[in-house]
Structures are given as structure tokens and as C-alpha cells.
């Protein structure tokens, strides 16, 4: 059967995560940047994933992704799955990484199926910047490309990261990593500096304090959802970005106002993710619950 062409591609990690927070723990839970992002995007679009897992990746995790209409033709299976373990202290704002086992990711050479190559929307989720570039090389020109990264790659692959930042339309990064990348304590300055690296748009995620959006002509500061139940912050950033790109792919227009709405949808989804471990939220939270949170943001931001 011939498949429809894909409109949204998400490249990143699919992982087995072991996480400890003050509210519990999970071993070998479903995680990874592409996993969180594609599940969030699937509220709006049919994402297709580029990633690699090992023979040890549980079948039920594939089934969960497929249940949400996520295309997995671009997922290779070889060796051992990427594993990440980490923990959070009471303030939950920063993960402490215990171990990163790259495993099959170390020798991964992403190959995009033909049906992915003309996607109009692409999210290069947190992953080795050299691999992010290889994915970009295989895409038709004219796609809208969003990029994420983390301190691990700023520490180990800064040159390759600079090269990929110069090629994308939008960069999303958390506040600590923005300060590290720009060597500046001031986030407004860092936002401007990152625009000078190439992207038209930059978003700095500030966890429980919301997000800052920068373009050459605009600035927007979004709050975060006033949550009382926070059990596991893992995946909030990936889900925020996945929700944003999913919304843009669904609307089919990138403008300042669609990005603002996408930021609020991304924040609403991220607020649901962190209420439980791993990706458990996806089996219970409906689109109308996300819409409820979106409406509350609207109310909160009126003055």
C-alpha cells in the first residue's frame, strides 16, 4: 500500500529511561527526545520518527507509539537501546544525569525513507548534532526546521552544534543551556546572541517559569501552567517542542501569532506530561483537556 507523504518528521532519541524523583521512580521506562516529542505532536499531526533502538526495545513501546498514529518506518533496530538515567531533587528544575549510554546511537547513520524527505515541518529533537546535520542533508529545501539540544552536546560537540544551529529556522533551548552556549548570564542577551547564530526564532525554556520567545522584531514571554502535582519533569522540554511543531504542522502557517499559540499548546501539553512518570499521560489526557488548559492560559495572560 502506498503511504501518504509525511508532513512532520521528528528525529531524536528513543530511550529506556531510569528516573528517580522525590515522588517515586521508574526503571527502563519509555523515554527519549523523539518519543516525548512525537507523542506530544500526535495531538495535532501524524509525526514520523527518525531514530534507532536496540533488540531490547519492548514491543509494547512500539505499539503505544503506533496507537497514536506515529509512523516508525524511519526507526532502525540494531544493538542495544540508548539508555539514560537521572534524578531530581525537591526543586525539580534540573535533572542530575547519572549515566548516558549511547549504545546503538554511537554508530547510527540516519537514513530517511523517501516518503519523509519532502516533509514541510521538521523537529531535530535533542540528539547528536552531527546526526541532526545528516538528517537535514536528506530533506528537501524549504522545510521549517526546529532544533533542540542539551548541555551534553554543548560540552562534547560544540562545533558540530554551531554548524547545525546556523542551518535551522528555530532554536529551542533551556535557560541553563542558553547561558552555557552564549557564555552570558543574561537571557535577553543570550536570546539575541542565538539569533545572530542563524535561526529566525529562538525560544528559551524556563521550566516552571515559562518560556521566552525571540525574533528580530518580536519578543514574547509565556507563563507556565500553575501546576500543583509534579511527579517527574523528564520530557517536559521535548513535549513542549513536540506540541509546538505539531501545532504548526497542523495549522500549516508559521507566523508570530501561530508560534505564540503553539508555545501555549506546547506548555499545556508539557504540564500534563510532568504529572506522572514517563509518557503515562498520553493514555489518559484527551485533546479537550489540553484545550481546557490552553483556555486557562488565555485567561491568565489577560490584564
The residues of the shown chain that bind ligand AMP, judged by CB under 6 A, are 13, 15, 17, 31-33, 36, 84, 100, 126-127, 150, 152, 234-238
User: How far is the C-alpha of 281 from the C-alpha of 274, rounded, in Å?
Assistant: 8
Strands 24-31 and 15-21: antiparallel
The least distance separating ligand AMP from the CB of residue 164, rounded to whole angstroms, comes to 14
The least distance separating ligand AMP from the CB of residue 67, rounded to whole angstroms, comes to 19
The least distance separating ligand AMP from the CB of residue 37, rounded to whole angstroms, comes to 8
User: Between 155 and 196, whose beta carbon lies closer to ligand AMP?
Assistant: 155
User: Between 84 and 214, whose beta carbon lies closer to ligand AMP?
Assistant: 84
User: Between 30 and 120, whose beta carbon lies closer to ligand AMP?
Assistant: 30
Q: CA distances (Å), 103 to each of 38, 97, 100, 136, in order?
A: 22, 16, 9, 23
Sign of CA dihedral 52, 55, 61, 65: positive
The least distance separating ligand AMP from the CB of residue 51, rounded to whole angstroms, comes to 10
Residue nearest to ligand AMP (CB): 31
- Listing from the earlier edge strand, what are the strands of the sheet with 82-87? 24-31, 15-21, 82-87, 96-101
Closest listed residue to residue 249, CA positions, set 237, 236, 260, 262: 262
The least distance separating ligand AMP from the CB of residue 279, rounded to whole angstroms, comes to 9
Closest listed residue to residue 149, CA positions, set 13, 9, 8, 7: 13
Closest listed residue to residue 259, CA positions, set 135, 182, 144: 144
User: Between 7 and 33, whose beta carbon lies closer to ligand AMP?
Assistant: 33
User: Between 152 and 220, whose beta carbon lies closer to ligand AMP?
Assistant: 152
Amino acid at each position: 500500500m502506498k503511504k501518504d507523504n509525511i508532513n512532520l518528521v521528528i528525529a531524536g532519541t528513543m530511550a529506556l529511561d531510569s528516573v528517580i524523583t522525590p515522588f517515586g521512580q521508574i526503571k527502563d521506562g519509555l523515554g527519549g527526545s523523539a518519543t516525548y516529542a512525537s507523542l506530544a505532536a500526535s495531538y495535532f499531526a501524524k509525526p514520523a520518527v527518525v531514530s534507532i533502538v536496540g533488540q531490547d526495545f519492548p514491543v509494547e513501546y512500539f505499539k503505544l507509539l503506533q496507537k497514536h498514529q506515529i509512523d516508525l518506518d524511519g526507526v532502525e533496530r540494531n544493538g542495544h537501546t540508548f539508555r539514560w538515567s537521572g534524578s531530581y531533587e525537591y526543586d525539580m528544575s534540573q535533572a542530575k544525569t547519572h549515566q548516558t549510554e549511547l549504545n546503538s546511537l554511537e554508530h547510527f547513520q540516519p537514513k530517511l525513507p523517501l516518503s519523509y524527505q519532502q516533509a514541510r515541518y521538521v523537529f531535530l529533537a535533542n540528539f547528536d548534532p552531527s546526526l541532526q546535520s545528516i538528517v537535514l542533508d536528506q530533506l528537501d529545501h524549504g522545510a521549517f526546521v526546529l532544533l533542540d539540544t542539551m548541555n551534553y552536546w554543548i560540552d562534547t560537540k560544540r562545533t558540530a552544534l554551531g554548524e547545525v544551529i546556523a542551518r535551522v529556522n528555530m532554536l529551542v533551548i533551556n535557560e541553563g543551556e542558553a547561558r552555557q552556549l552564549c557564555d552570558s548570564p543574561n537571557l535577553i542577551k543570550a536570546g539575541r546572541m542565538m539569533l545572530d547564530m542563524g535561526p529566525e526564532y529562538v525560544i528559551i525554556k524556563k521550566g516552571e517559569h515559562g518560556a521566552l520567545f525571540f525574533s528580530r522584531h518580536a519578543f514574547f514571554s509565556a507563563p507556565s501552567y500553575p501546576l500543583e502535582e509534579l511527579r517527574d519533569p523528564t520530557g517536559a522540554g521535548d513535549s513542549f517542542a513536540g506540541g509546538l511543531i505539531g501545532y504548526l504542522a497542523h495549522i500549516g502557517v508559521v507566523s508570530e501569532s501561530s508560534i505564540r499559540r503553539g508555545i501555549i499548546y506546547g506548555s499545556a501539553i508539557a504540564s500534563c506530561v510532568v504529572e506522572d512518570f514517563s509518557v503515562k499521560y498520553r493514555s489518559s489526557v484527551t485533546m479537550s483537556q489540553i484545550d481546557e488548559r490552553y483556555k486557562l492560559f488565555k485567561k491568565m495572560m489577560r490584564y
